[in-house]
A and B are shown apart, each in its own frame.
Chain A
Amino acid sequence: MRLEKYHSILRVTVLNGFLAYVFYSGALLLDLGRPWHIMNPLIGNSFGYNSVMFLVAWHFFVYTCALFIEFSPAIAEWAHFEKLRKFLAGLTLATVILGFTISMLHQSGLGALFLMAKPKIHPLWYSEYLPLLFFVSSIYAGLSMIIFEGTISHRIFNNLIGEKTHHAHDEIVLGLAKGAAVTMFVYYFFQAFILLHDGERWKLINGFWGFWYLLEIVGFVLIPCFMYAYGVRNRKFAVIKVAAILTVLGIILNRLNITLIAFNWYAADRYYPSWQEIVVTLMVVFIEVWVFRWFVTRMPVFSKD
């Protein structure tokens, strides 16, 4: 499958994922409060074992642990613990398989959380296939995020990247863009099937909500999909990078639509985040970038080859 070329971005991608999950947990703790309750799903204290939230909490925990174990050889290498590094490197294959399985279940689990909110979500965004849509969209979101983050890292940490990796970067971007294009193509048709499957749904494509839905599906799925395809075919890296930014924005818009914008869409009194919440969110993101920089400048994250 010619996957060897992706080896050079393995550690930085895993680190990115690990920090994103850790900081997302931290942001949830800040948002929800009562941090001592975080242990409840893990120790089974006063928690519904049949709830999707229980499933998501366990997936979240296990996946974060798997990411940490995948990244731990870099920490051991940095600390000059050679025996420990060999032992941890031996665990990598098992943790990759575990992480792959758990992330599939966890992404679809996040979609399943919203299945119980049928009366609250606008019918254009609600579907019984939400778990499947969340899973498929998470694939191209991840690929686009790697392109986006890789492009920035490649520019900022240029001095830390080896010459061989530097030259391989273009081929890596093309491979990721190709994967993202195919997945977005499939996702777009899933959305079209869902729209047609229920005979009444397409009649909702009118007014503000209809056009908002079309903006998300056409503007942030179909157009970036074709941009990726054009970029791959003609090796236009600028087009691929713009497509990656549009795709990441599209995923943010999709998740915001389901959780916030099209949620309780009929209510007169809507929820809007306060400026304090926005500041706290930005603080969490910037601290994550800072910690990422700390790791990258000290540990062997980028390939020196």
Chain B
Amino acid sequence: MGLQMVRYSHAGVFQGLRKGRVVEYYSYVNIFEQKGAAYILLLSFLVLAILFIRYLTVPEKKNPNAEKGGSPSAKKKSFIAD
């Protein structure tokens, strides 16, 4: 290309020398390469946060008899014991 970078100008724009003339050009940054670990951490946070909140949410007892003196199976056992 014969392009020699001179300095960073602004907002991703660089200034370079081509055949003795100062030209401006863009240089694209691979953000995945630069911030790869941060992206992986962000994604893992989103996944782990869902799992963590699900773990913290204790499932309510589905059995309506649970608060009224135990489950039907428990009652059955006590009946057998009697």
Contacts and interface: CB of A to CB of B under 8 A. Distances in A.
Interface of A: 178, 181-182, 185-186, 189, 192-193, 196-197, 229, 232-233, 235
A182 B48 CA distance: 11
B38 interface: yes
Interface centre among B37, B45, B48, B56, by most chain A C-beta atoms within 10 angstroms, is B56
Nearest to A179: B56
B56 A232 contact: yes
A153 to B, nearest CB: 25
Given A196-B41, A197-B38, 8 more contacts: A181-B56, A185-B49, A185-B52, A189-B41, A229-B52, A232-B56, A232-B58, A233-B56
Contact of A233 (B42, B48, B49, B58): B58
B58 to A, nearest CB: 6
Sort A-B residue pairs by CB-CB distance and give the 8 closest, nearest first.
A189-B45, A196-B37, A196-B38, A178-B56, A185-B52, A232-B56, A229-B56, A192-B41
A193 B39 CA distance: 9
Interface string B24-60: 0000000000000110011001001100110110100
Main secondary structure of the interface of A (DSSP, over half): helix
Nearest to B44: A189
B50 to A, nearest CB: 11
Contacts of A197: 38
B32 to A, nearest CB: 14
Contacts of B58: 232-233, 235
A143 to B, nearest CB: 14
A186 B58 CA distance: 20
A229 B51 CA distance: 12
Nearest to A234: B58
B53 A182 contact: yes
B41 A193 contact: yes
Given A189-B45, A232-B58, A233-B58, A182 B38 contact: no
Nearest to B38: A196
11 contacts: A181-B56, A182-B56, A186-B49, A192-B41, A193-B38, A196-B37, A229-B52, A229-B55, A229-B56, A233-B55, A233-B56
